[in-house]
Amino acid sequence: MSSPESNFRRWFRGSGEGAKPSATAKTASRTSRRCIGLGEFLRGLSGAQERLSVLDLGPTSPANISFLTEMEARVYNEDVLRATRDPSYMARQEDGTEQLDPQKFFAENCNYAEGTFDAILFWDLADYLPEVLVKPLVERIQAVLKPKGMLLALFHTKDAGPESPYYRYHIAGRDVLELEQGPNFRLQRIFNNRHVENLFKDFSSRKFFLGRDNIREVIVVR
């Protein structure tokens, strides 16, 4: 099983903690939105007696790394959605079609020891992931989170259409996100509140915040 340090090196190609945004980080057009859930998430990290470990499951963001390391958190990153496009994780089915194999995928992704992380930025992964990975990823997250560990998740509401653009999320303030349009991932599903409750049914609590841009914010505690 790989260590957090080896995964950190794998995804950041050796860059150190506390990396600052590069000169090109701001070239893409971005829009800002207030995110109450992010504020709640960051407040949960504040005032910790020990240095916290945070896992970001979205695309690498120098802004996120900088913001969290300034809070003296250890930051690890895995772009899970991008990894699903790796053809080596596909397996041929009995009907001749190919489907992503969760066992192959998790042998190399999110492969951390139990109870490694204090918090996880899940973003809107569940809306875009292949169906076969959604529940296994939540199960993996539950295992790698510490007891009382937090997760921030975003979910599209029923008003979001399948052509809704995929965004990269950059932390710009205590309750502010900058949205940068990312790769052409297609929205796969819409979760209502009951679906979200079921998805995280084995966690101790779930707290919902409804945004004004067809996004539901959820704080989940193991």
Bridge partners (DSSP) of residue 123 are 153
- What pLDDT, on the 0 to 100 scale, is given for residue 67? 97
- What pLDDT, on the 0 to 100 scale, is given for residue 99? 92
Rounded Cα distance between 144 and 56, Å, is 13
Give whole-number Cα distances, 82 to 21, 120, 157, in Å: 21, 17, 23
The answer to whether the beta carbons of residues 170 and 61 sit under 8 Å apart is yes
pLDDT in tens, the chain (222 residues): 444 444 443 343 333 333 333 333 445 689 999 999 999 999 999 877 789 999 999 999 999 999 999 999 999 999 999 999 999 999 988 888 889 999 999 999 999 999 999 999 999 999 999 999 999 999 999 999 999 999 999 999 877 777 788 999 999 999 999 999 988 899 999 999 999 999 999 999 999 998 778 899 999 999
Domain 4-9+33-183+198-221, CATH among 2.30.30, 3.40.1000, 3.30.450, 3.40.50? 3.40.50
SS3 54: strand
Q: What is the pTM of this model?
A: 0.85
CA angle 222, 48, 63 (to 5 degrees): 85
